[in-house]
Amino acid sequence: MQNLGMSMLWFWICYILVTIVGILHTVFNIYVLHMKPMDSSFMGEGYERAKPWHPLYNILLFSLFGYLYMNGLEQPLLAEALATGAVWAGICILFDVFGWVLIKHPWSLSFRAFYIDYQPWITLIYLAIFLGPIIGYWFAR
């Protein structure tokens, strides 16, 4: 990678931002739209209704941050965009195992809930993260 430090900076800012947006959407659904919150056996209507929007947040934000990274390179190359997309998606896949499945918190999910019940959304999210730098490259060149 041409600039691993900048790539990681843009990645982590985007990852945190997209996570906050997703959480705020669920909170909005529960408190403003009065959808049912989670309980001990169900993530709740507020979360379920937000899930189809998650890939959209990811494609928009990761494309923007992919553009910021690629535009900051002296010579952006498609190979760099592909490598960056692969690294970003790979980090997300690994980090999500810990952040959403293994580390227990009120919104953590089981392996089944995250990798099977969250289909097709989780696959589309990872695809969006991979494509973000590539889309960013097309805008930066």
Q: What is the pTM of this model?
A: 0.92
- Please tell me the distance from the alpha carbon of residue 86 to that of residue 11, in angstroms, as a whole number: 12
pLDDT along the chain (141 residues), means of 10: 91 97 95 85 84 97 98 95 98 96 90 93 98 97 86
Q: Write the burial class of residue 88 (CB in 10 Å: 0-12 exposed, 13-18 middle, 19+ buried).
A: buried
pLDDT, tens digit (0-9, with 9 covering 90-100), for 34-75: 998 877 666 789 989 999 999 999 999 999 999 999 999 999
* Cα gap 111→132, rounded to integer Å: 26
Residue 40: how many other CB atoms lie within 10 Å: 4
